[in-house]
């Protein structure tokens, strides 16, 4: 496990964006990228599962093919390993800001809290695959699962995860809350049950408050 670039002193920043499906991450990730670019930063916009050709293939399998929670977890971490090695670490090393639509907190929320997969095993995989790499900031868009379900129903055909019931998304939401409580310095919770402009104002304030 030694061929990820040696750290710690990477000059770039790594921000992940999380929340249950329908919480409205996407447009705010774009807005964050624009905001950072206007300040002269190089920005890499990426996502998980995905972000490399291999990981995007794994994403297709994960979102479409039925499988148990262990297979799901192993594929998610295989995708993450490739993503870290091929895109995230090189971008951070050259000073870019990496904005990822989801990262490992999603695994703890979906496979761990949602699917009931062993959290201790997830922690081992996290350590093994990431070798200490964590986002510098994680933005958690928090929205009641019932409201998120209404928003999803209005806009898209559900994938394998989005077909889950309300109880599943309540567990996923609780999973995010637990990760947030356990690592409060890394997380910012954004109340997403408000108009889009207000959500963006809260997010921008959180970004500005960081001593970057």
Which CB atom, from 64 or from 209, has the smaller least distance to ligand TYD?
A: 64
Determine the size of the site formed for ligand TYD (CB under 6 A).
Answer: 13
Interface residue with ligand TYD among 16, 43, 91, 101 (CB under 6 A) is 101
CA distances from 113 to 24, 80, 91, 170 (A): 21, 19, 31, 9
For 156, counting Cβ atoms within 10 Å of its Cβ (0-12 exposed, 13-18 middle, 19+ buried), the class is exposed
Contact yes or no for 144/176 (Cβ under 8 A): no
What are 182's two structure tokens?
Answer: 């356990």
Return the number of the residue (159 or 191) whose C-beta is nearest ligand TYD.
159
Q: Give the one residue of 106, 113, 190, 199 binding ligand TYD; rule: CB under 6 A.
A: 106
Which is closer to ligand TYD, CB of 12 or CB of 49?
A: 49
- Neighbour-count burial for 169-196, b at 16+ CB within 10 Å, e otherwise: bbbbbebbbbbbeeeeeebbbbebeeee
Question: Binding to ligand TYD (CB under 6 A): which residues in 146-205?
Answer: 159, 161-162
Residue of 32, 107, 138, 192 that binds ligand TYD (CB under 6 A): 107
Local structure of 42: helix, strand or coil: coil
Of 165 and 208, the one with the shorter C-beta distance to ligand TYD is 165
Q: What token pair was written down for 32? A: 């964050």
102 counts as binding ligand TYD under rule CB under 6 A: yes
List binders of ligand TYD among 22-61 (CB under 6 A): 48-49
- Token pair 């000059």 is at which residue? 11
Question: If we measure between CA atoms, which residue out of 178, 154, 153, 177 comes closest to residue 163?
Answer: 153
- The minimum distance between CB 40 and ligand TYD, in angstroms, equals 28
Quick check: 12 and 97 in contact, CB under 8 A?
yes
Which residue is it, tokens 């297979």?
A: 71
| Of 6-14, 28-36, 105-113, 181-189: span binding ligand TYD (CB under 6 A) | 105-113
Which residue number, 48 or 202, has a Cβ lying nearer to ligand TYD?
48
Q: Which stretch binds ligand TYD (CB under 6 A): 89-97, 104-112, 178-186, 194-202?
A: 104-112
Binding site for ligand TYD (CB under 6 A): 21, 48-49, 76, 101-102, 106-107, 110-111, 159, 161-162
């Amino acid at each position: 496990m030694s061929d990820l670039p040696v750290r710690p002193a990477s000059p770039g920043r790594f921000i992940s964006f999380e929340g249950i499906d329908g919480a409205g991450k996407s447009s705010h990730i774009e807005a964050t990228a624009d905001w950072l670019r206007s300040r002269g930063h190089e920005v890499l916009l990426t996502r998980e599962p995905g972000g490399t050709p291999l990981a995007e293939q794994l994403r297709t399998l994960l979102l479409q093919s039925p499988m148990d929670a262990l297979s799901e977890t192993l594929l998610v971490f295989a995708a993450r390993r490739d993503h870290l090695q091929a895109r995230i670490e090189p971008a951070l090393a050259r000073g870019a800001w990496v904005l990822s639509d989801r990262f490992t907190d999603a695994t703890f929320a979906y496979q761990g809290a949602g699917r009931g997969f062993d959290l201790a095993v997830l922690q081992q995989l996290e350590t093994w695959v990431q070798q200490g790499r964590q986002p510098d900031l994680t933005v958690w868009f928090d929205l009641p699962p019932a409201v998120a379900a209404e928003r999803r129903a209005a806009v898209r055909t559900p994938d394998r995860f989005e077909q889950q019931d309300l109880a599943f998304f309540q567990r996923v939401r609780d999973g995010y809350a637990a990760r947030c409580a356990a690592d409060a310095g890394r997380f910012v919770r954004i109340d997403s049950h408000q108009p889009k402009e207000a959500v963006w104002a809260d997010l921008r304030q959180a970004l500005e408050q960081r001593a970057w």
